[in-house]
Amino acid sequence: MNTVVIVGTQWGDEGKGKIVDLLAEDADVVARFQGGNNAAHTLVVNGDKFILRLVPSGALWPGKTCVIGGGTVVDPFALLEEIDRLRGRGLLKEPGVIKLSYDAHIVMPYHRAIDRAREAGLGKSAIGTTGFGIGPAYEDKMSRRGLRFDDLADWKTFEEKLVRNIKEKNLYLKTVLKAKPIDGKALVENLKKARRRIMSMLTDTGAYICEAIAGNKKILFEGAHGTMLDIDYGTYPFVTSSNCIASEVFAGGGVPPGKLDAVLGISKAYTTRVGAGPFPTEIHGALGDALREEGAEFGSATGRPRRIGWFDAPLARYAARVNGLWGLALTKLDVLTGIDPVKICVGYKLGGEIYDSMPPGRNALARVKPLYEEVPGWTEKLADARTLRELPTNARRYVERLQELTSIPIAMVGVGAGREASIVVRNPFQE
């Protein structure tokens, strides 16, 4: 297989970065196709921790081309800061290693200011946005007020559009949101200074990817967030502002239909979510707190504590359907060590009906009662296991049970934070 997309099957934070980093060794190109720097991927390589927000996770391997596709929204200052930080650690040294789409929209400081002011105004009804301006940037894209990196080619015209946008956004911030306006003059000057560096990365990424496909190169598409945060298929309105499912790779990545070989879903061995919204299997109290600490379940981009829940098989079945999953990579199995019994949600009860997948209408998810199956836990450490046979019996049976319940072949299992702490059952690039 030559073209593989990685998607989250839960509410994000499933450990996609680690799996992308693992598979990137076999890839020639690693491409982001949606989202912005509101998603962060944490990677641990040889004990060193890396947090990537906009740069694709292939950056940790030499010789890989990292593409940021047209479906993304990109904060140029955050991108340049991230590149500089990685270069300071000896990465991204090759010329042309980062290719940024002309079509990607620019996240501006006024987007961040609007995002944060809106959330503050909502109080207890807040959605739980990260405040990075991603939603307002996508709003401008859809209302045709957005500025793309392509616009930087003609600075005079770009500046005119930018100044107009600043005036409009500052008026909105002051009169409607009662928030502090941004410094428009400083923004114009800062973008002018950054323009040359940004322009050097601009590429027709759709054409580049199509040429790579025609040349039989191996391409790994890296999704951000998770299926249940998809703007159309997630738990709306508690979602992100882009499409997170595999089909977005066609629009956001520039891939022609029919050119995708496999979709690998990523799921934790339990479930987490950040922010507000329905969460049927949520664990409250001491056990939830203990799992949060053991799993270091705090947002890489925000530091916010994640909500913790049991593995949700109906959710996984739904993700398999909307993404067309080839396989499932199960992460953080080691975090469940010492828990006995371990619960698995096998269905939902709503009124007098039993559902084995998502009930119709996303609002129904807030009213369902999870139906659990209990399986024996294990106490043995998992970090040194490199095959399923090397797992403790109960841990292996848990993995096998999840495969049975979801009908998704288990392709990989994570048994620790490091790159090497992985069991690879099937590698799509080697089939």
**Stronger pLDDT, 417 or 261, i.e. the higher one:** 261
DSSP letters spanning 316-362: HHHHHHHHT-SEEEEE-GGGGTT-SSEEEEEEEEETTEEESSPPSSG
CB of 262 within 8 A of CB of 327? yes
Q: Which helix (H) or strand (E) holds 138?
A: helix 134-142
Tell the CATH topology of 3-94+204-430.
Adenylosuccinate Synthetase; Chain A, domain 3 (3.90.170)
Residue 198 and residue 138 in contact, taking contact as beta carbons nearer than 8 Å: no
pLDDT of residue 279: 96
Please classify residue 94 by burial: count the beta carbons closer than 10 Å to its beta carbon, then call 0-12 exposed, 13-18 middle and 19+ buried: exposed
- What's the token pair of residue 255? 């891939």
User: What is the reported pLDDT for 39?
Assistant: 78
Mean pLDDT to the nearest integer, 29-41: 91
Work out the pLDDT band at 300, boundaries 50, 70, 90.
low
Q: Above 80 in pLDDT, residue 413?
A: yes
**DSSP per position, 27-56:** -SEEEE-SB-TTS-EEEEETTEEEEESSS-
Other C-beta atoms within 10 Å of 202: how many? 17
Q: For residues 339 and 77, what is the distance between their CA atoms, to the nearest angstrom?
A: 44
Q: At what angle do helices 155-175 and 109-122 cross, to 10 degrees?
A: 20
Percent of the chain topping pLDDT 90: 87
For residue range 353-393, list pLDDT tens digits in order.
Answer: 999 999 987 689 999 999 999 999 999 999 999 999 999 99
- Residue 41 annotated to the active site: yes
Report CA torsion sign: 401, 404, 408, 409. Answer: positive
Note the pLDDT of residue 41. Answer: 82
| Among candidate residues 67, 385, 37, 388, the one with its CA nearest the CA of residue 252 | 67
C-beta of residue 270 within 8 angstroms of C-beta of residue 332: yes
Highest mean pLDDT among 79-93, 116-130, 295-309: 79-93
Q: Start-end ranges of CATH 3.90.170.10 in the chain?
A: 3-94+204-430
Token pair belonging to 141: 């894209």
Token digits of residue 132: 């990075």
Confidence of residue 281 (pLDDT cuts 50, 70, 90): very high
User: Which of 179, 50, 186 is CA-nearest to residue 112?
Assistant: 179
Instruction: Judge whether residue 288 has pLDDT over 80.
Output: yes
pLDDT recorded at residue 257:
92
CA-angle at 410, arms to 321 and 50, nearest 5°: 95
pLDDT per residue as tens digits for the range 223-280: 999 999 999 999 999 999 999 999 999 999 999 999 999 999 999 999 999 888 999 9
pLDDT digits (tens, 9 = 90+) for 108-129: 999 999 999 998 887 766 666 7
C-alpha to C-alpha distance for 102 and 98, rounded to whole angstroms: 13
In this prediction, residue 44 carries a pLDDT of 83
According to DSSP, the β-strands at 73-74 and 98-101 are: unpaired
CATH class of 105-199: mainly alpha
Q: Which two tokens stand for residue 215?
A: 């040349």
Annotated catalytic residue 13: yes
User: Which one-letter amino acid corresponds to residue 150?
Assistant: D
User: Are residues 196 and 127 in contact, defined by beta-carbon separation less than 8 angstroms?
Assistant: no
Annotated catalytic residue: which of 26, 28, 41, 111?
41
**DSSP H helix total and E strand total for the chain:** 11, 20
Considering the chain, what is the average pLDDT of its residues?
Answer: 94
**According to CATH, where is 1.10.300.10 located in the chain?**
105-199
**Residue 299 clears pLDDT 80, i.e. is over it:** no
Q: Which residues, in sequence order, are CB contacts of 303 under 8 Å at separation 6+?
A: none
pTM of the model: 0.94
